[in-house]
Structures are given as structure tokens and as C-alpha cells.
């Protein structure tokens, strides 16, 4: 078993306080409407992409098989990827923690005396809070995905992994631009707002010393980094600046190039309901002699950050099948009502609930897995068939069972309470023994007047719970 480490803590929003943040959103009709509308839109777009149920089912099975096959070979494939990338001229770095990843990236920036880094959309860079670390080191880190740019201007974090600014209205964005972009007057015309962003960011692509991106798939056999996007900012970040740094979690590897088309199809159709994204960018080397553009240096940072912990357990390993499409959050009744910020973690929604405990430890995330009705929608839409509800049950068990030796997860038992545990044990005993059960129901009906009128959250909008004066057993007996 690996030694417990101090979990990485997030700077912007502590993971505690989940309930309070969720309550704030539930009571905010504007946010409720934004999320409901956006999720309905994304769900119908996805459904329209999969008219044939048999095709969807068989493609999901193929996607699951591809991800499981590649995870089973993960250590070998990482070595193969490293060898082929190195052969192609791409520098490979390894980081166990967010701190190590930031140090590697900022080290490259400092070596080039970089002042400005433009960033393509990368959730892993959010996970390590690279912007925070870059700012502390005096290096400008500018988000260039339109949604990420908006969120960064507002000093917020993405509320959705695919659509980062989904919680904002165009009027809010109009105000944000008018206040923060020099020489810009208020306009809530979406085309005009996008043109403002385009003009500001074009200048930055031209000036930037470093381009940073994420990776959607890394192909071991060819040594290729694949990026999915619609805007072209990812291509800008990976082509215009003299240095490109890519960062990815260690799980995003496929052995064969032919594994990419099915996964790409599942990803774009599940995420935004597009049959393909506008751009699919495959990078296999830095600029070669004679070529006239492209970065002279390309780096890949491979990040662990708790993924190897998930990997070590056969059931939890399935978490790593994820291709980050966001369909689970789009279909989640909880996410739709509380939005992405309430979770306080980089990854919100069902996938956030099952991946964050590995990154942050169960100490900080013990209650996340309980924020679910276990309706199963996330598991049904997952394009690679991650059994999310099953994993949520497992995480509840890990959080609330008594601490034991050799736990599978950091922070196992963090939510354990002797009192709660005793109550459940008593409950189980009552249901196992007919005599005890009879006694308990008799006492319940006899002493129902003891039930308090105020039953906490239950009675804020409901009448108090009260056992019936007569048990079913007694009523049947009276009937003869």
C-alpha cells in the first residue's frame, strides 16, 4: 500500500461547505433556469446524435472494451508512449502531484524567460491550479477558450467541464467585457461578444511565449497527442507560440491509432451532440527542419495525482475509463439543480464525485458520493459504460465504514461516526430478528406521541413524520 500523502487542497473553493453552496444555488431562480435550460439543450442534442439504439449500445461496448484494454496495459503503454514521443522529439515529464506538475511547467517557462502563456482548454491544468501557480511566479497565464476566458475574467472557475461559462447569462458577460476589456462598450449581442474575445486573444496568440494545452487521447504506437475542439484556440496554442506544453492525466492513453475513431465519435456525440468537433488536432513532433511554423519545442507532462490509487483497485479502476465528455453531468438531476460550483472540486457532477476523492482524499470529499439519488442516468449515458452508481455506493462504503488497516483509498473512514454506525447496527438487528421487529413496531405505535413536531429539514416543507397508531399486524389480527 502506498503511504498516505497530504491531499492537494484547492485554493478557490474548499470542498467542505458543499451543502451551503448547494443551498445557495437551489434558492437562486436565475442559476436554476440557466442550468436547467443548458442541460435540456445538451440532452436533446445528444439524443439526436444516437437515433439507433443498437448502434449506440454496440459503440458504447466497443468504447468500454477499448478503454479497459488500454488501462490493463497502462504501465507498458506509458513506456511505449514515452519512447515514441522521445523518438519524435517531444520531451516527456512525469509528475506525481500537482506541485510537481506546476514546477515542471513553470521551470520550462522560466528557461525561456516567458512572460505570457496562452492556454487552450485543459481540465488537468485546472486540477493542478496552474493559473494560480503561474501568477505567483510572475508569469501571465491567459485562458483562450471563450468560456474559460470569460470565467477567468470573472475570477471564477469553470462550472462545467465542456461548457465552462454555462452559469453565466449573456448580459453578465456583456457587463464583464465592458468593465474589463479596454475600449469596449456594453453589448449583449453574442456575435459581437465573440468578436471582442477573438480580437483580444488574437493579439495574445501573436505575442505569447508559451502555449499550453490538454490532451484528449495520447497514441502510444505513433507517439501522437490528440486534441478535440471547436474554436481553434487549441490549434493556436499548439501552433503559434515557440514552445508548446501539453499536460494530461496518465490514463488518457490508447495503444493503437485505430482506437481513436470510435472514442472520438463517442466523445463528441455524447458531449455536445456533434457528429464531430470542428477540429481534431493530432500532434506528433515539434517543428522539423525546413518547416516554417509550429513550436520548436514540445513537452508532455504526465500527471498522476491520485490516479494510481484508483488504478490499484479493480473496481475503482473503472473510474479511469472516463473520456471527459460531461454527459453524466448533463443528465444528472443533482448537477442540473446545483450547478458545477457547488461541488467545490475541479470536476463536478457524477464523474467529479467518483474521481475527486482520489485527487483530494476522502477527508475533503466524504459527503460528495451521498449527493446522489442513485437514479442511474449517469451510468446509462456514459459512453464508455463506467458503472457510476456502483462506484458511488463503493465510495459511500469507503467514506463511512470504520477506519481499517490497508485501506484502498486515502481518507477511508473519514465520514465514520460511532453514533451513526451504532444506529445502523441497531436498525439491522431489528430487521433481522422477528421478535425485536415486533417489539420495535409496538413501541413505535404506542409512543408515536413522542415524535417531535420539529424534525429539522424534513418539516421545513413537510408535515412531521409520525408512526401510525395501529400496526398492519394489529389491523390484520382485528379482521381475523
Partner 1 sequence: MSARDRILGKLKAAAPASAGELPDVAAWYAAHRGTESVADKARRFRQCIELAHAEVYSVSRGGWLQKLYEVLSAKQLEQLLVAPGTAHGKRAQEELVPLGIACPAYDQPIEQWKAAMFTATPAAFTAARAAIAETGTLILWPDADEPRLMSLVPPIHIVLLDAATIHNTFYEAMQREGWQQGLPTNALLVSGPSKTADIQQTLAYGAHGPKELVVLLIEENPQ
CB atoms within 10 A of CB 389: 19
How many residues contact partner 1, by CB under 8 A? 99
The residue with cell 473496481 is 315
Of the residues 248, 272, 399, 412, which one makes contact with partner 1 according to CB under 8 A:
272
Name which of residues 79 to 138 contact partner 1 (CB under 8 A). Answer: 79, 94-96, 100
Strand 279-283 relative to strand 224-229, pairing = antiparallel
The DSSP-derived string for 322-360 is -----HHHHT-HHHHHHTTGGG-SSS-HHHHHHHHHHHH
What are the distances in angstroms from CA 159 to CA 28, 54, 147, 156, 362?
A: 15, 33, 10, 9, 22
C-alpha distances out from residue 307 to 70, 290, 320, Å: 15, 40, 7
Residues numbered 283 to 342 that lie near partner 1 (CB under 8 A) are 283-288, 290-294, 302, 304, 308, 311-314, 317
Residue 432 contacts by C-beta under 8 Å, 6 or more apart in sequence? none
From residue 238 to residue 257, the character string flagging contacts with partner 1 as x (rule: CB under 8 A) and all else as - is -xx-x-------x-----xx
CB of 312 to partner 1, least distance (A): 4
Residue 61: CB minimum distance to partner 1, A:
9
Among 78, 267, 342, 388, binds partner 1 (CB under 8 A): 78
* Residue 145 in the binding site for partner 1 (CB under 8 A): yes
Beta-sheet strands, E only, within 230-355 = 243-249, 253-254, 279-283, 297-303
**Is 58 one of the binding residues for partner 1 (CB under 8 A)?**
yes
CB of 375 to partner 1, least distance (A): 24
Give min distance, CB of 96 to partner 1, in A. 5
| Environment class of 197 (CB within 10 Å of its CB; exposed 0-12, middle 13-18, buried 19+) | buried
What residues numbered 157-196 form the site for partner 1, per CB under 8 A?
163-166, 168-170, 173, 190-191, 193-195
CA 79 from chain center: how many Å?
26
Using the rule CB under 8 A, give the single segment among 106-114, 279-287, 323-331, 393-401 that binds partner 1.
Answer: 279-287
The Cα–Cα gap between 292 and 241 comes to 13
Q: How far is the CB of 154 from partner 1 (least distance, A)?
A: 13
Shortest spacing between CB 112 and partner 1, in angstroms: 14
Of 47, 55, 86, 427, the one binding partner 1 by CB under 8 A: 55
Contact status: 32 vs partner 1 (CB under 8 A): no
Backbone region of residue 167 per phi and psi (left: phi > 0; alpha: psi in -120 to 50; beta: other values): alpha
> Does residue 361 touch partner 1 according to CB under 8 A?
no
Contact call for residue 397 and partner 1 (CB under 8 A) = no
Amino acid at each position: 500500500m502506498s503511504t498516505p500523502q497530504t491531499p492537494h487542497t484547492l485554493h478557490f473553493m474548499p470542498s467542505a461547505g458543499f451543502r451551503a453552496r448547494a443551498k445557495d444555488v437551489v434558492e437562486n431562480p436565475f442559476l436554476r433556469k440557466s442550468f436547467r435550460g443548458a442541460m435540456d439543450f445538451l440532452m436533446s442534442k445528444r439524443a439526436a446524435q444516437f437515433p439507433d439504439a443498437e448502434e449506440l449500445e454496440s459503440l458504447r461496448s466497443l468504447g468500454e472494451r477499448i478503454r479497459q484494454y488500454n488501462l490493463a496495459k497502462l504501465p507498458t503503454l506509458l513506456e511505449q508512449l514515452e519512447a515514441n514521443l522521445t523518438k519524435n522529439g517531444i520531451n516527456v515529464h512525469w509528475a506525481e502531484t500537482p506541485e510537481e506538475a506546476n514546477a515542471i511547467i513553470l521551470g520550462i517557462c522560466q528557461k525561456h524567460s516567458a512572460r505570457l502563456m496562452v492556454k487552450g482548454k485543459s481540465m488537468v491544468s485546472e486540477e493542478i491550479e496552474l493559473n494560480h501557480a503561474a501568477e505567483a511566479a510572475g508569469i501571465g497565464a491567459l485562458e483562450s477558450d471563450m468560456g474559460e476566458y470569460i470565467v477567468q475574467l470573472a475570477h471564477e472557475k469553470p462550472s462545467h467541464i465542456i461548457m465552462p461559462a454555462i452559469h453565466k447569462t449573456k448580459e453578465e458577460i456583456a457587463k464583464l467585457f465592458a468593465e474589463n476589456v479596454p475600449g469596449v462598450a456594453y453589448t449583449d449581442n453574442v456575435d459581437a461578444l465573440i468578436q471582442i474575445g477573438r480580437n483580444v486573444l488574437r493579439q495574445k496568440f501573436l505575442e505569447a511565449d508559451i502555449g499550453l494545452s490538454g490532451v484528449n487521447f495520447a497514441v502510444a504506437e505513433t507517439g501522437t497527442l490528440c486534441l478535440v475542439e471547436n474554436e481553434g484556440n487549441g490549434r493556436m496554442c499548439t501552433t503559434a507560440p515557440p514552445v508548446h506544453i501539453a499536460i494530461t492525466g496518465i490514463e488518457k492513453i490508447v495503444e493503437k491509432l485505430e482506437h481513436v475513431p470510435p472514442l472520438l465519435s463517442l466523445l463528441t456525440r455524447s458531449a455536445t451532440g456533434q457528429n464531430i468537433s470542428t477540429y481534431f488536432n493530432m500532434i506528433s513532433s515539434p517543428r522539423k527542419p525546413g518547416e516554417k511554423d509550429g513550436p520548436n519545442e514540445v513537452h508532455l507532462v504526465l500527471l498522476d495525482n491520485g490516479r494510481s490509487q484508483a488504478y490499484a483497485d479493480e473496481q475503482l479502476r473503472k473510474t479511469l475509463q472516463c473520456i471527459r465528455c460531461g454527459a453524466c453531468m448533463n443528465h444528472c438531476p443533482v448537477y442540473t439543480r446545483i450547478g458545477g460550483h457547488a461541488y467545490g472540486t475541479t470536476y463536478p457532477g457524477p464523474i467529479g464525485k467518483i474521481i475527486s476523492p482520489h485527487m483530494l482524499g476522502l477527508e475533503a470529499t466524504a459527503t460528495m458520493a451521498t449527493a446522489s439519488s442513485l437514479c442511474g442516468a449517469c451510468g446509462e449515458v456514459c459512453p464508455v459504460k463506467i458503472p457510476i452508481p456502483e462506484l458511488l455506493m463503493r465510495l459511500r462504503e469507503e467514506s463511512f465504514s470504520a477506519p481499517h488497516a490497508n485501506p484502498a483509498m486515502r481518507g477511508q473512514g473519514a465520514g465514520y461516526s460511532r453514533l451513526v454506525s451504532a444506529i445502523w447496527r441497531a436498525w439491522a438487528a431489528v430487521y433481522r430478528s422477528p421478535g425485536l421487529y415486533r417489539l420495535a413496531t409496538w413501541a413505535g405505535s404506542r409512543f408515536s406521541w413522542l415524535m417531535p413536531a420539529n424534525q429539522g429539514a424534513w418539516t421545513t416543507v413537510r408535515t412531521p413524520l409520525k408512526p401510525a397508531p395501529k400496526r398492519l399486524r394489529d389491523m390484520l389480527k382485528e379482521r381475523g
